[in-house]
Structure 1
Amino acid sequence: MSAAVSEPGPAPRAGAVVAVLAFGGIVVSLMQTLVIPLVPELPKLVHASPSGTAWAITATLLAAAVAVPVIGRLGDMYGKRRMLIVSLVLLVSGSVVAALSNSLEPLIVGRILQGLASGVIPLGISIMRDELPAERLGSATAQMSASLGVGGALGLPAAALLADQFNWHVLFWVSAGLGVLVLGLVLSFVPESSVRTGGRFDLVGAAGLSVGLICLLLAISKGGTWGWGSGRTLGLFGVAVVVLVVWGWFESRTKQPLVDLRTTARPQVLFTNLASIVLGFAMFAMSLALPTLLQLPKITGYGLGRSMLVAGLVMAPSGLVMMATAPLSAAISKAKGPKVTLMIGALVIAVGYVVGLVLMSAVWELVLVSALIGAGIGFAYGAMPALIMGAVPISETAAANSLNSLMRSIGTSISSAVAGVVLAQLTVNLGPISVPSQNAFRVILGIGAGAAVVAFLVAAAIPARRTEVALEPQLAAASKVG
């Protein structure tokens, strides 16, 4: 009798955990596109220069680069749910600070706090590994990983609509409300894992990695503005190389490193992280090229003359497709292994970009292109957590997933820089101003296709291994849902 009563328990609890964590991932990823509709008007709104307001985006990127690996390691040491709650509190705090701001400085502070919450997605994936039954893990982590793209895709039209209809502060009040909602759901439904590493936190390693990443990403994101050959840009690149080399030497010799480089060097982890960089690059190329093409005036002969809201709505289906393909991604990974799923995703992304080279003259054509690329991203992003977790100890799950998430962010940063250079260099004159030429968009789409092919080749180099089989013994011991 007792067994019959208790058996239905795990499914609803597992479902609640998955739903709450995936929703949290979507909310956090919304922060990446939250201010994009405000960019043209932001200098007037906060009484600052365009170069100054650009920091509202850059600051979030830099904060995320620092927070993701640090929060992941702290989660492994002191509790993933605890660090998830800390991240959500930072998100709410940053949203409130930004909502109350009327000048640039507090807005940047708010955006930094929002960026510090970026560890929610890797923490969520790691909690799933600890808490879910083995048979639920594949589809759940695929959905959680896809939430990164879903939030970004859905955030643009939602933010554009709110910015168009209400005062710009409403954007941040809504994000604060969503953060409070997720926090309440986490407190109610997500359990704390007993899987912890303990030990001492590697403060020196965290500081070294933070300095190296900030210098690297700052040089990448600001190189187009400062000049790629300027002393400031080259100096930051140089400092980044030196600091990261010294950091690697230190981490390989410390007993309890922030990042276990021996684990990171395992072929399955190494090649998955390399593929993550390239796929992050490929994903963001679409996010930059298609909205710009949609908003260029029709007088150019190739621009579609649409509003920011319409551009966002064109991109929204890609996010829905990402979430829809997550279960299929998990099914393929279970049947053929996540390596195959990752390769399929890369090929679908490449096909999407090739279709974009041919079809770019109507709104429906760009909807099709974004949906195809979104499907490929859904496959690929769903496979990567399975590859990572199949190659690392369960006690290092959060740190390993956080590093993988960081690799994606580096890829998107490089993509933004490359696309910015292409759009700035390949232009045509439109009266007194210059706008990107049609060839600029073709070049970006071609680069995106090439990046996806590179990701396919990198994925093909991953050692063949049935990740699910490797995970099952650890998951059976760690699973406590119900």
Structure 2
Amino acid sequence: MSHAPARSVVAGTSAPPRANAVVAVLALAGIVVSLMQTLVIPIVPELPQLLHASSSNTVWAVTATLLAASVATPVVGRLGDMVGKRRMMLTSIVLLVAGSVVCALADSLVPMIVGRTLQGLAAAVVPLGISIMRDTLPADRLAGATALMSASLGVGGALGLPAAAFIADHWNWHILFWASAGLGVLSLMLVLLVIPRSDVRTGGRFDLVGSLGLSAGLVSLLLAVSKGGDWGWTSAPTLGLGAAAVVVLLAWGWWELRTRQPLVDLRTTARRQVLFTNLASVALGFSMFAMSLVLPQLLQLPTQTGYGLGKSMLTVGLVLAPQGLVMMAMSAVSAGITKAKGPKVTLLIGALIVAFGYGLSLLLMSEVWHLVLVACVIGGGVGFTYGALPALIMGAVDPSQTGAANSLNTLMRSLGTSFASAIAGVILAQMTTSFGGHALPSENGFKVVMAIGAGAALLAFLIATFIPGRRTAVQLATAAETRAQAPTQAADAS
């Protein structure tokens, strides 16, 4: 059976893009979507009362978003390549607005889960934005723009936490979702007004079987990982879902290698540059999220424990907020290094900075300013790495596959965060200390998690050394443009 990809339409846009406006609007959309990660964190302890449900059921308000995002990211990325990235970005933002409104009107568990699921379906906005940038921006702007767009994943989460905590402390919790709906409408209007339509598309037929197979496999895997701690790691549901994930994903891979127009081109993902970049992304996603699990708990635990700092959720948000700003600032530095030395060097530097930040945390955990410093150092390293990842991916795939390839890379990072949550949860549940008749995570437990975070960053560094040699962002963009124009030039010559 032929595996030739569908021929892409000639690169171009419906109108000359205004580069600064395009970058600003896409970055804003990415930040708004990433806000959904931390939007409900301040009210999670109160959800059982607010929604008249048990705590074991209200956790689905968080889990549903994770599962929906994992399913939507590769599917929407592929649809973006086929029918238009701008169109799918608008669709994703509409789903975010709809989900926010449903949550804002909810007073029970079922509508809240429905709304949070719709919000999760918007997760592909960031990889779609990176792909739009590749199609519309000049080569010399691409490195900085994609670094900023990639960093928006972390920036929105970091800045959203203090804002959400402030709103939850001072107003009715429904205001959180009305605010997210308003931001979604703003993003929607700006995308409609500013972002040009790209003509880089593959067309062809959507791989429905592949999308269903990948969705079933990912949901099984992530449910086993995210709920294993609650259900028991050796319980029948956990083991059954884990086994189902393996079987379904193997069958999915078999199908993808044999269908003419696959959802994910596994032959492309097996290329050395794409493969090792995606593997490094899993390790980096793990490393980034380990800090997000430890620092809030350290800040909120009672001072009587000897290591807790006894702070409020609003203080937690304010401590973590500078991390987002540093991440945004470092994306510009990351772009400069990528232009001069290539994205591989940028990724290696960033991984070492993240590892250093975690090492610093093992020594500095007793004051608020210690944790601000640790968060900023790790955030700076993440800004470097997240800026380099899309450049590495786009340098190895055809422009007509950019949406699917960037979405898969984003999914790899999300898998890393899911594994971090599961492993850290096990460690902190096992390494405890008794306080007031309750078992709390011990100081050594936090240090072990941070040490594993450092190890994950060093693993990402090691994996990145296997990525092929240096190419600058301008060279990558030029090569991509040449590949895009090749079919047209051949047609003109004939």
Which TM-score tier does this pair reach, normalised by the shorter chain? over 0.9
Matched residue, 1:209: 214
Task: Give runs of aligned pairs for residues 226-375 of structure 1, distance below 5 A.
Answer: 226-375=231-380
Deviation at 1:474, TM superposition (A): 3.2
Task: Give runs of aligned pairs for residues 101-140 of structure 1, distance below 5 A.
Answer: 101-140=106-145
Q: Deviations over 1:332-361 (max 9, x none)?
A: 011111001001000000000000000000
- State the TM-score, normalized to the length of structure 1: 0.96
Matched residue, 2:4: none
Aligned with 2:477 (options 452, 471, 475): 471
Q: Is 1:164 matched up with 2:169? A: yes
Deviation at 1:431, TM superposition (A): 1.4
Deviation at 1:422, TM superposition (A): 1.3
* Partner Cα distance (1:296, 1:218) in 2: 28
* Partner Cα distance (1:121, 1:239) in 2: 30
Deviation at 1:166, TM superposition (A): 0.6
Q: Deviations over 1:217-252 (max 9, x none)?
A: 010000000000101000000000000001001100
Tell me the SS of whatever aligns to 2:258. Answer: coil
Deviation at 1:287, TM superposition (A): 0.5
Matched residue, 2:87: 82
Q: 1:478 to 1:171 in 2, by over 3 A?
A: farther
Matched residue, 1:441: 446
Matched residue, 2:488: none
Structure 1 stretches of 5 or more lacking a match?
Answer: 1-8
* Partner Cα distance (2:214, 2:322) in 1: 36
Q: Tell me the amino acid that sits aligned with residue 397 of structure 1.
A: T
Q: Is 1:395 matched up with 2:400? A: yes
| Count of aligned pairs between the two proteins | 470
Q: Tell me the amino acid that sits aligned with residue 86 of structure 2.
A: R
Q: Is 1:28 matched up with 2:66? A: no
Q: Is 1:423 matched up with 2:428? A: yes
Q: Deviations over 1:394-447 (max 9, x none)?
A: 000000000000000000000011111111111111112111110011001100
* Partner Cα distance (1:32, 1:180) in 2: 18
Deviation at 1:478, TM superposition (A): 7.0
- State the TM-score, normalized to the length of structure 2: 0.94
Q: 1:178 to 1:478 in 2, by over 3 A?
A: farther
Tell me the SS of whatever aligns to 2:45. Answer: coil
Deviation at 1:467, TM superposition (A): 4.8
Instruction: Assess if the C-alpha contact under 8 Å between 2:341 and 2:470 holds in 1.
Output: no
Instruction: Assess if the C-alpha contact under 8 Å between 1:133 and 1:475 holds in 2.
Output: no
Identity over the aligned pairs, expressed in percent?
Answer: 70
Matched residue, 2:384: 379
Q: Tell me the amino acid that sits aligned with residue 300 of structure 1.
A: T
Matched residue, 2:72: 67
* Partner Cα distance (1:187, 1:23) in 2: 13
Matched residue, 2:59: 54
Instruction: Assess if the C-alpha contact under 8 Å between 1:349 and 1:374 holds in 2.
Output: yes
* Partner Cα distance (1:389, 1:476) in 2: 13
Q: Tell me the amino acid that sits aligned with residue 435 of structure 1.
A: L
Tell me the SS of whatever aligns to 1:429. Answer: strand
Tell me the SS of whatever aligns to 1:464. Answer: coil
Q: Over aligned residues, Cα RMSD in angstroms?
A: 1.2
Q: 1:61 to 1:83 in 2, by over 3 A?
A: same
Instruction: Assess if the C-alpha contact under 8 Å between 1:59 and 1:111 holds in 2.
Output: yes
Please identify runs of 4+ aligned residues in structure 1 that moved more than 4 A.
476-479
Q: Deviations over 1:93-140 (max 9, x none)?
A: 000000000000000000000000000000000000000000000000
Instruction: Assess if the C-alpha contact under 8 Å between 2:294 and 2:449 holds in 1.
Output: yes
* Partner Cα distance (1:43, 1:323) in 2: 35
Instruction: Assess if the C-alpha contact under 8 Å between 2:341 and 2:472 holds in 1.
Output: no
Matched residue, 2:8: none
* Partner Cα distance (1:158, 1:187) in 2: 27
Instruction: Assess if the C-alpha contact under 8 Å between 2:298 and 2:309 holds in 1.
Output: yes
Q: Is 1:146 matched up with 2:130? A: no
Q: Is 1:220 matched up with 2:206? A: no
Tell me the SS of whatever aligns to 1:41. Answer: helix
* Partner Cα distance (2:303, 2:32) in 1: 34
Instruction: Assess if the C-alpha contact under 8 Å between 1:130 and 1:478 holds in 2.
Output: no
Instruction: Assess if the C-alpha contact under 8 Å between 2:354 and 2:378 holds in 1.
Output: yes
Q: Deviations over 1:229-279 (max 9, x none)?
A: 101000000000000001001100111000000000001000000000000
* Partner Cα distance (2:244, 2:274) in 1: 26
Instruction: Assess if the C-alpha contact under 8 Å between 1:274 and 1:458 holds in 2.
Output: yes
* Partner Cα distance (1:369, 1:441) in 2: 14
Tell me the SS of whatever aligns to 1:358. Answer: coil
Instruction: Assess if the C-alpha contact under 8 Å between 2:142 and 2:477 holds in 1.
Output: no
Deviation at 1:155, TM superposition (A): 1.0
Q: Tell me the amino acid that sits aligned with residue 452 of structure 2.
A: I
Structure 2 stretches of 5 or more lacking a match?
Answer: 1-14, 486-494
Task: Give runs of aligned pairs for residues 1-40 of structure 1, distance below 5 A.
Answer: 13-40=18-45
Tell me the SS of whatever aligns to 1:252. Answer: helix
Deviation at 1:470, TM superposition (A): 3.4
* Partner Cα distance (2:394, 2:436) in 1: 55
* Partner Cα distance (1:395, 1:23) in 2: 24
Q: Is 1:404 matched up with 2:406? A: no
Tell me the SS of whatever aligns to 2:268. Answer: helix
Instruction: Assess if the C-alpha contact under 8 Å between 1:387 and 1:467 holds in 2.
Output: no
Q: Deviations over 1:365-396 (max 9, x none)?
A: 00000000000000000000000000000000
Q: Tell me the amino acid that sits aligned with residue 282 of structure 1.
A: S
* Partner Cα distance (2:224, 2:413) in 1: 17
Instruction: Assess if the C-alpha contact under 8 Å between 1:390 and 1:467 holds in 2.
Output: no
Matched residue, 1:155: 160
Instruction: Assess if the C-alpha contact under 8 Å between 2:85 and 2:403 holds in 1.
Output: yes
* Partner Cα distance (2:264, 2:389) in 1: 18
Matched residue, 2:489: none
